[in-house]
Copies of this chain bind each other. A is one copy, B any other.
Amino acid sequence: MQFLNGQDYIQQVSIDCVIFGYQKKQLKVLVPKLALKGDFSSLPGGFILQNESIDQAARRILQARTGLKDIYLEQFRVFGDLGRNNMPFFEQIVGLNQEQQGAESFNRKELEWITRRFISIGYYALVDIHQVVPQKSEIDQSIEWYTINELPSMIMDHNQIVDDALQSLRLSLDQKLIGFTLLPEIFTMKDLQELYETIYDKPFARNNFQKKMLELDVLDRLEKKFTGAANKAPYLYRFRK
């Protein structure tokens, strides 16, 4: 972990990203598991270089994990309580990984750096899950999409951060036209409705939902989608950029 040295990064400030995806009527979050004994999961995150803005830092972190360059991104909250540090986490690691590579791979200075109190800027990202090729970082054992109701227990307050992100997402969804960023470019009205129902965790009336979406005047109606099912074929739509 030699990348943590010195003053390249702003001290004691981190970025944590809640990466939302959507698949099979489920809202998902991309979560890596650390390559250490003991099943530690942690939101994708990182630090801010001295010569990049916080938004740039978030994009860099997101690109590293998703491979995507243009991502819908929203800063939603800063987490700055006392006791936001990795000390308990590293103590556990040291205990569990006595003769492993994990704890030893940190030198003393790095350990001091990473176990100090951190203020974390929370971002959420909305991605088309099909475009993402999840990428482990060098400290990850794996990285996976988890359904939002089946998230693993994560370090520090990361589970709380996801809850906050979802709340912010719901608040913004009907003010800004951001829902589409979770879908493939082309979708049916039913796809869109199911997405909304998933995010808000409640049903919408089909007729009125459709009317409302069309009244927004941001959807282009394309050709029909013939699936081979024994029923009327729905139109495909695309968000007008």
- Nearest Cβ distance between residue A175 and chain B, in whole angstroms? 8
For residue A53, which residues in chain B have a CB less than 8 angstroms away from its CB? 80-82
Which one, A7-15, A148-156, A184-192, is touching chain B? A7-15
For residue A78, which residues in chain B have a CB less than 8 angstroms away from its CB? 54, 75, 78, 121
- Check A119 against B10 for contact (C-beta < 8 Å): yes
Q: Work out how many copies of this chain go into the complex.
A: 2
- Check A119 against B80 for contact (C-beta < 8 Å): no
Indicate if A117 sits at the interface (CB-CB under 8 A): yes
Q: Mark A43-59, 1 if CB is under 8 A from B, else 0.
A: 00000101111111000
**In the assembly, what is the distance between CA of A66 and CA of B104, in Å?**
50
For residue A80, which residues in chain B have a CB less than 8 angstroms away from its CB? 48, 53-55, 121
From B11, B13, B55, B82, A52 is in contact (CB under 8 Å) with B82
For residue A224, which residues in chain B have a CB less than 8 angstroms away from its CB? none
**Taking beta carbons and an 8 Å cutoff, which residues of A are in contact with B?**
10-13, 48, 50-56, 75, 77-78, 80-82, 117, 119, 121
- Known contacts A10-B13, A48-B119, A54-B81; can you find 17 more A-B pairs with CB under 8 A? A10-B11, A10-B117, A11-B11, A11-B12, A13-B13, A13-B119, A48-B80, A51-B82, A52-B82, A53-B80, A53-B82, A54-B78, A54-B80, A55-B80, A56-B82, A78-B121, A80-B121
The 26 listed contacts between A and B (C-beta, < 8 Å) are A10-B11, A10-B12, A10-B13, A11-B11, A11-B12, A12-B13, A13-B13, A13-B119, A48-B80, A50-B117, A52-B82, A53-B80, A53-B81, A53-B82, A54-B78, A54-B80, A54-B81, A54-B119, A55-B80, A55-B81, A56-B82, A75-B77, A75-B78, A78-B78, A78-B121, A80-B121
